[in-house]
Amino acid sequence: MTHAKILKLSSGEEIICNVENNPEASHLSVISPMKVQSYPKATRNGIEEALTLQRWIHFSETNTYKVPMSQVIVMTEASIGLSKFYDYCVKKMNIEEEDVVQPTNKQLRDIEREEIEEEYEEWDDEPLPTYH
C-alpha cells in the first residue's frame, strides 16, 4: 500500500495521488491522480457525507502529470482508510484499462459506413422539392 497525498489546488479541486517530490523543481509530479468528490447521502441515521474518487484527467495516455507548485495550496497525507480506498480504485481502474478492447480498422470503417447509410436513409424519407 502506498501512502497517498491529498492536494488542494487553487482551482478548488482536491485530488488524491502519489507524489514524486523534487524540492528544486517548480512543479510536483503527481501519479495516478483522482478527484475527490464528497456529497450528502441520506441514511437511517440522517445525512452523512459520502465520498467518490474519479479520474482527474480523462482520455490521457499517461498517469503522471506535472502540477505547478504555484497551483498547490495545501498538501497533506491521506488517512490510512482513504489511502486503501485510493489504492483499490487505482488498481480497479488499471484492470479496466487492460480489459478494453480497441476496435480494428475494419470495425471502425464498418461503423462509419453504417452511419453514412443511416444518414442516406433519412434523406430518402424526405420528399424531393418540386420546381415549377
Residue 28 lies in a domain: yes
Owning domain of residue 39: 5-125
Residue 30 has what pLDDT?
A: 94
Q: CB–CB of 36/14 below 8 Å?
A: yes
- Residue 61: phi and psi, rounded to 5, are -90, -5
Q: Give the number of domains in the chain.
A: 1
Is the pLDDT confidence value at 50 over 60? Answer: yes
Is the pLDDT confidence value at 41 over 80? Answer: yes
Find the CATH number of the domain harbouring 60.
Answer: 2.30.30.100
Question: pLDDT by residue (tens digit) across 67-120?
Answer: 999 999 999 999 998 999 999 989 888 776 665 566 677 877 777 777 677 666
At 97, the amino acid letter reads E
If you average pLDDT over every residue of the chain, what do you get? Answer: 83
Residue 102 lies in a domain: yes
Burial 56-91 (b: 16+ CB within 10 A, else e): beeeeeebebebeeeebeebeebeeebbebbbebbe
Residue 132 lies in a domain: no
Question: The dihedral of CA 17, 22, 23, 24: what is its sign?
Answer: negative
Residue 76 lies in a domain: yes
pTM, 2 dp: 0.68
Residue 95 lies in a domain: yes
Is the pLDDT confidence value at 128 over 70? Answer: no
